Amino acid sequence: MAHILLICSDAENEIGAPILLEFILRLITHLLTLCLAALASASFASIVPVGVQVGVSQTQVQNNWGWTECYNGGGNANSSIAGVLAGCQGSYLMMAGYVTGSANYSILAAAARADVIFNTGVQSGSGSDVSHTANGAEWYFSDSWSWGFSALGNAVELNSCDIDLMAGYGNHTGMCWHTGGGKLNQGWAYNTGANFQSIDSNFHRVLLVSNGPTTVPEPESLALVGLGLLAMVAVRRKTQKQS
């Protein structure tokens, strides 16, 4: 800021206060325009939900939270996982799903991309299987076993999907997709909280992408710089008149 004032002081001596004042006003207008444009065009994924969420409207997730669907496939689809992830580039990933015709995602969870696809490997289904904890959920991923999440603190029993989602087992909240041979395979299921549901052709498996919270220049900071420059010019002009 001091360097800016010094430069402006020298400029005033060279070109005069009226011209400098006009320049400063134009500069402030330009900076504020750039700031507002950045705010308007930024990907407003300022909300990365923590933990497993159920019954959230698709409009809220996409329009208010700033997420973009990058994959939407039926429950019986067989899609290349590498191809799916290639189309889902971003710092954060969200797994979600909804029943055909519903305006709400039945269930969803999100985390940093590296956490959502953290390779937990092929596991035993013994009840002591490994999950990866991130952003308030338990994650697991293998392109030849299963892919999904469970509520924070839940044990997973990956045989190959998490059978603890079932009412006769843990009745845990979460969702699991079958994988195999590098592909998403048919099924499997989700549980929104004591409500176990199988995944079939009437269910959409969805991935959404986001770059996370967006930082843009603060209008207040730009305005303070501009006000400081204007004050400097005003003080110098008053001083010159008094002398």
Q: Are both 119 and 98 inside the same structural domain? A: yes
Kindly report whether the global pTM for this prediction surpasses the value 0.75.
no
Q: Are both 142 and 228 inside the same structural domain? A: no
Q: Are both 108 and 92 inside the same structural domain? A: yes
Q: Are both 58 and 172 inside the same structural domain? A: yes
pLDDT at 42 over 60: no
Residue 198 lies in a domain: yes
Residue 100 lies in a domain: yes
pLDDT at 222 over 70: no
Q: Are both 167 and 229 inside the same structural domain? A: no
Residue 47 lies in a domain: no
pLDDT-above-90 percentage for the chain: 62
Q: Cα–Cα distance between 119 and 144 in angstroms, integer?
A: 10
pLDDT, one tens digit per residue, over 131-157 is: 999 999 999 999 999 999 999 999 999
Residue 48 lies in a domain: no
Residue 96 lies in a domain: yes
Residue 112 lies in a domain: yes
Q: Are both 198 and 89 inside the same structural domain? A: yes
pLDDT, one tens digit per residue, over 68-102 is: 999 999 999 999 999 999 999 999 999 999 999 99
Q: Are both 202 and 228 inside the same structural domain? A: no
Q: Are both 11 and 125 inside the same structural domain? A: no
Q: Are both 180 and 64 inside the same structural domain? A: yes
Residue range(s) defining the domain that contains residue 143? 53-210
Q: What is the pLDDT of residue 89?
A: 95
Residue 90 lies in a domain: yes
The total number of structural domains that make up the chain = 2
Higher pLDDT, 30 or 112: 112
Q: Are both 108 and 182 inside the same structural domain? A: yes
Mean pLDDT of 171-178: 96
